[in-house]
Chains A and B, each alone.
Chain A
Amino acid sequence: MMGSAARFIFRRRGTSGTGKGWHWTDIVTWVWLVGGLLVMFGPAVWLAFSSFKTPAALAEFPPTILPYVTQQVTVEGYDKPLALYEAAMPDGSTRVLAEVRRIGIVSQMVDPQAPGEIIRVNIADRKPVRTMSLATENYTQPFVQFAFVQYLWNSVFVTVTATLITLVVNSMAAFALSKYEFRGRTLAMLVILATLMVPLSVIMVPLYSIISSMGLFNNLWGVILPTVATPTGVFILRQYMLTIPDELIDAARMDKASEWQIYSRIVLPLAAPALAVLAIFSVVWRWNDFLWPLIVLSRRELYTLQVGLSIYAGELNVQWHFILAMTVVTMIPVVLVFIFLQRFITTGIAGAGLK
């Protein structure tokens, strides 16, 4: 199965029957691609695997790929559960023993079945008994301990609301800019394009004061509103709407359709593919936004996932097992977009060269 898949992927088009050998550039190509596969996906996959490990397993060096834990047993006569080891006996046999304590290089062990007798084993002769176990509490605990559900909800709220407003506002503007002749149209278009070069870092101080004076500091709407009038969105939609024939609109006007009806009943449905592309873009942008929410939100219960995550990760005693799990959760929507909708984004970018 893997073999045939590999053969399919590695076979070069058009050369299978020609008998030509492998050129050195083919080797470079495959090294590059396979290396790319490892470098691009590897780190995220490693993080996802790590997120299922217990704190003890995370602290291990060298690390294992899969989440293993040392098995423990409760032995009669001992308060705490003891770690299980496979110990090599002097006679060559191995026994599964529980470690009571360690003194120097000697480990004092007992047989869990017969805990009376202490057996001394050199620590070099014992190996921990390990089983694979998913530390799902890494995922469940943050929901209880931190306001993780709240962050998740805030992120979803910001993303969904901002995307909906973006679609409405941008499509209306794009409709006006593509289907009407009026004075100032070029100016409006230029203003929109000019804002493409005004990034947040250039206006964050005054923008913050405007948001504050509107009472939107520490308010999710303060995060949403400045982002919704995206120039990129107007641009994508306008380019698409220009391809909708004007005759359709003229015919509708003859039938006494109002301009709003033309927009909502004719242009919007026809622009659905462009709207879908913009919706995907917008969801990814808003889900990933970091700097602006970090500025606007200072109360914990308002944090979005990105802000909450970065603040927990910046604390002195980082609880990596929770951070890793929360990072995975934060990654999920984007990974879903990647798996199912990546095609639209890549063609969208390649077509318009934007982001």
Chain B
Amino acid sequence: MNSSKRFAPSQFGAIMMAPVNGLMTLVDIPLRALQRLTGITGMAAFFLMPNMLIFGIFVLLPLAINFVYSMSGGTALFLSDRSFVGLDQYQRLFQCGSYLDPMSCQEDAFWTAVGNTAWFVLLQVTLMILLALATALILNRDLRARSFWRAVFFFPVLLSPVVVGLIWKWILQRQGLLNFALFELGMEPHNWLTDRTWAFAAAVGVSIWAHMGFYALILLAGLQAIPKDLYEAAEMDGTKPARVLWRITLPLLAPNLLVVVVLALIKAVQVFDEVYVLTGGGPGTSTLYLTQYIYETGFASQLRNPGLAAAASILMGLVLVVLTLIQLGIGRRSEAKGKR
């Protein structure tokens, strides 16, 4: 953000801004009157209002009525047309013969989604953080054109989930590039997206591909904040690079690493878009995750049940709240450390 010069108003900019300035002057007339009523500090409420109003209507209100929703039944959309059923929806979600076997549950799709999401989160976060850490360590070396290489790994982060899903659907299809590469190497081609295990692996892999650069970027920023004199001292003592990594780099990166892990967990729990485009949750239910379950229960399926979807989304919200609290806790602890 240190390049304010680039945004200095040019001649062209001045002409473009003329109508905006005119509008600002016009708006000023009624607002001056308002200010006479409210006083200077009172204007703060005016400035804050639009944002808070939108927040209130589209975030806080839905959050509040979600609880009411989760305790209502029927297929009607509006709350006034829905019947109160207490905790029935939650009971339905938890009605299980054995929690280890999704098929024994009344809502087998929910438990399948929970199981799939748990596996997905575990694999995706672990592998992605390891790869992101390796990338960050490599980018932190004395490289020529570091910002270029950093950008390389960041590229997929900007792509839309739909584009990511389609790119990989195209590569993983039966006659796709991957099968061609295997064919050239003399190996057996696979139907990647129609085999349950491979489809799951593809979902994990594609999601790592799409998001790894973001976490590598944060980790790199963390690495660059480690004081250089520590490394100089280690070099003078002739410390081995592996020891430097274990004794200096990783311990000092730990708070950053924790934050990144929790951030990645929060994102992974909500996995949906790119996998939905890639596999549509299939084959069967092998890549059905929680967000897709909520979406389909709430909107898409024939037997839609908004109450059930709301109950499931609240359960997911609870997981996210716990993760966020952990993250805030880590943030506060490392902040306190910094002050000491």
Contact flag A201-B51 (CB < 8 Å), given A32-B138, A61-B180: no
Whether the Cβ atoms of B161 and A288 lie closer than 8 Å is: yes
- Nearest CB of A to B222, in Å: 9
Question: Which residues of B are found within 8 Å of A276, using beta-carbon distances?
Answer: 7
Interface of chain A residues 1 through 38 with chain B (CB within 8 A): 8-15, 25, 28-29, 32-33, 36-37
The docked-state distance in angstroms from the alpha carbon of A226 to that of B276 is: 22
Which residues of chain A are near B40, meaning CB under 8 Å?
A: 253, 259
B150 touches A36 (CB 8 A): no
B280 neighbours in A (Cβ, 8 Å): 314
Expressed in whole angstroms, the Cα–Cα distance for A259 and B28 within the complex equals: 9
Contact A334 B44 (CB under 8 A): no
Task: Check if B48 sits within 8 Å of A259, measured CB to CB.
Answer: no
**A residues at B contact (CB < 8 Å):** 8-15, 25, 28-29, 32-33, 36-37, 39-41, 43-44, 46-47, 50, 59-63, 168-170, 172-173, 175-177, 180-182, 185, 188, 191-192, 195-199, 201-210, 212-213, 225-226, 228-229, 234, 240, 253, 258-261, 263-265, 269, 272-274, 276-277, 284, 287-288, 290-291, 295, 306, 309-310, 313-314, 320, 323-324, 327, 330-331, 334, 337-338, 342-351, 353, 355
Whole-angstrom distance between the Cβ of B134 and the nearest chain A Cβ: 7
CA A287 to CA B180, docked complex, whole Å: 33
Q: Is the CB of A204 within 8 A of B45?
A: no
- Of the listed stretches B103-111, B121-129, B192-200, B213-221, chain A binds B213-221
When distances are taken between beta carbons in the complex, the residues of chain B under 8 Å from A180 are: 41, 43-44, 47
| Shortest beta-carbon contacts, A-B, top 5 | A288-B160, A173-B51, A180-B44, A176-B47, A350-B221
Contacts of A291 in B (CB 8 A): 272-273, 291, 295
- Whether A205 and B167, one on each chain, are in contact in the complex, defined by CB atoms closer than 8 angstroms, is no
B249 CB within 8 Å of chain A: no
**Min CB gap B23→A, angstroms:** 9
Task: Tell me which residues across on chain A come within 8 A of B66, comparing CB atoms.
Answer: 202-203, 205-206
- Scoring B residues 14 to 54 as 1 if CB is less than 8 Å from chain A, else 0, what string do you get? 00000000001001100110010000110111111011101
Residues in B neighbouring A176, C-beta threshold 8 A: 43-48
Given contacts A9-B144, A331-B159, contact A313 B166 (CB under 8 A): yes
B154 in the interface (beta carbon within 8 A): yes
- Inter-chain contact B32/A260, CB cutoff 8 Å: yes
> Which has the most chain A C-beta neighbours within 10 Å: B141, B170, B314?
B170
**Chain A residues with CB under 8 A of B309:** 204-205
Known: A313-B166, A343-B147. A203 touches B177 (CB 8 A): no
B166 partner, pick from A182, A228, A258, A323, beta carbons under 8 A: A323
**Scoring B residues 157 to 177 as 1 if CB is less than 8 Å from chain A, else 0, what string do you get?**
011111101111111000101
Shortest beta-carbon distance from B163 to chain A in Å: 5
How far is A343 from B44 in the complex, measured between Cα atoms in Å? Answer: 34
15 contacts between A and B (CB under 8 A): A9-B145, A12-B142, A32-B138, A205-B309, A206-B63, A210-B65, A259-B40, A264-B28, A265-B24, A291-B273, A309-B162, A338-B155, A342-B158, A345-B158, A346-B150
Give the CA-CA distance A206 to B314 in the complex, in Å.
Answer: 11
Q: Is B73 an interface residue (CB 8 A)?
A: no
Contact of B217 among A13, A168, A324, A346 (CB under 8 A): A346
Asked if B47 and A172 make an inter-chain contact with CB atoms under 8 angstroms apart, the answer reads yes
Chain B residues in 8 Å Cβ range of A168 = 50
> Which of the residues B7, B32, B57, B156 comes within 8 Å of A210, measured between beta carbons?
B57
Q: Considering only CB atoms and an 8 Å cut-off, how many residues of chain B contact the other chain?
A: 106
- Choose one: A188, A201, A327; the contact of B270 (CB below 8 Å): A201
Asked whether any CB of chain A lies closer than 8 Å to the CB of B112, the reply is: no
Residue of B with least CB distance to A348: B1
Residue from B9, B78, B135, B148 in contact with A209 in the complex, judged by beta carbons closer than 8 Å: B78
Told that A229-B58, A290-B160 touch, could you supply 13 new A-B pairs with CB distance under 8 A? A8-B144, A12-B143, A33-B152, A36-B152, A46-B171, A195-B60, A197-B266, A201-B295, A202-B313, A207-B62, A229-B55, A240-B1, A260-B32
The answer to whether residues A324 and B170 also contact, given A177-B48, A349-B214 and a CB cut-off of 8 A, is yes
* Contact indicator B58/A225 (Cβ below 8 Å): yes
B224 to chain A, nearest CB (A): 8
Flag whether B306 is at the interface (Cβ < 8 A). yes
A353 and B298 contacting across the interface, CB-CB below 8 Å? no
Q: Is the CB of B316 within 8 A of A202?
A: yes
Contact pick for A330, options B61, B134, B160, B184, CB 8 Å = B160
A132 to B96, CA, bound (A): 60
The reply to whether the CB of B99 lies closer than 8 angstroms to some CB of chain A is no
- B180-214 contact mask (Cβ, 8 Å, vs A): 1 or 0: 10011000000000000000000000000100011
Q: Is B120 an interface residue (CB 8 A)?
A: no
Encoded as 1 (CB less than 8 Å from any A CB) or 0, chain B from 279 to 294 comes to: 0100000000011001
Give the residues in chain B near A353, CB-CB below 8 Å: 218, 221, 259
**Partner among A12, A40, A205, A229 whose Cβ is within 8 Å of the Cβ of B310:** A205
Q: Is there an interface contact between B163 and A169, defined as CB atoms closer than 8 Å?
A: no
Report whether B51 and A234 are in contact in the complex, using a CB–CB cutoff of 8 Å.
yes
Does B87 lie at the interface of the complex (its beta carbon under 8 Å from any beta carbon of A)?
Answer: no
Contact A37 B324 (CB under 8 A): no
How many Å lie between the Cα of A263 and that of B44 in the bound state? 11
Residue on B with the closest CB to A276?
Answer: B7
